[in-house]
């Protein structure tokens, strides 16, 4: 199971529909749950939230992070699942995250040097999880 904590309001209809298209194809352990947290409460929630080393793989989405391939992302998820870790992906709201969240995360993931609106980042994460599942299962969706 992958838990996604996203800052800001719930997904707009266009975003929810696109994400739903990927989610309905996901199977355990690549299935996801979403938690939406108001932007003004997100920093407080994450500062109070115990990042549990050894039980979770916490991935923070941030343009200042490391840019990796889809295959590398798939391996990261596979390794977490093999080690019985819960995967938690953090997606900031309009103002992203402060240094403390990035420092407490196990991995800071950048999609590119570009900055994306948070709803597009959510869609990218959903698509990449589906792609990771396809790579893991040797499917035909991902090709290089």
What does the pLDDT profile of the chain (144 residues) look like in tens digits?
899 999 988 889 999 999 999 999 999 999 999 999 988 888 788 877 777 777 999 999 999 999 999 999 999 999 999 999 999 999 998 778 888 889 889 999 999 998 888 899 999 999 999 999 999 999 999 887
Grouping H, G, I as helix, E, B as strand and the rest as coil, residue 21 is: helix
* Radius of gyration (C-alpha) of the chain in whole angstroms: 14
Cα 23 to Cα 48: distance, rounded to the nearest angstrom: 29
Distance of CA 11 to the CA centre of its chain: 15
Please tell me the pTM assigned to this model.
0.93
Assign a CATH topology to domain 2-137. Alpha/beta knot (3.40.1280)
Domain boundaries along the sequence of the chain: 2-137
């Amino acid at each position: 199971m992958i838990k996604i904590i996203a800052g800001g309001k719930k997904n707009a209809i266009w975003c929810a529909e696109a994400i739903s298209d990927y989610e309905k194809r996901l199977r355990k352990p690549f299935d996801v749950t979403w938690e939406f947290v108001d932007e003004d409460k997100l920093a407080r929630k994450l500062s109070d939230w115990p990042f549990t080393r050894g039980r979770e793989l916490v991935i923070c989405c941030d343009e200042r992070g490391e840019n990796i391939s889809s295959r590398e992302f798939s391996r990261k998820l596979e390794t977490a699942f093999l080690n019985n870790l819960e995967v938690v992906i953090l997606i900031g709201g309009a103002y992203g995250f402060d240094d403390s969240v990035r420092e407490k995360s196990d991995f800071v993931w950048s999609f590119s040097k570009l900055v994306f609106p948070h709803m597009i980042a959510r869609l990218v994460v959903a698509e990449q999880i589906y792609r990771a599942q396809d790579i893991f299962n040797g499917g035909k969706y991902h090709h290089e």
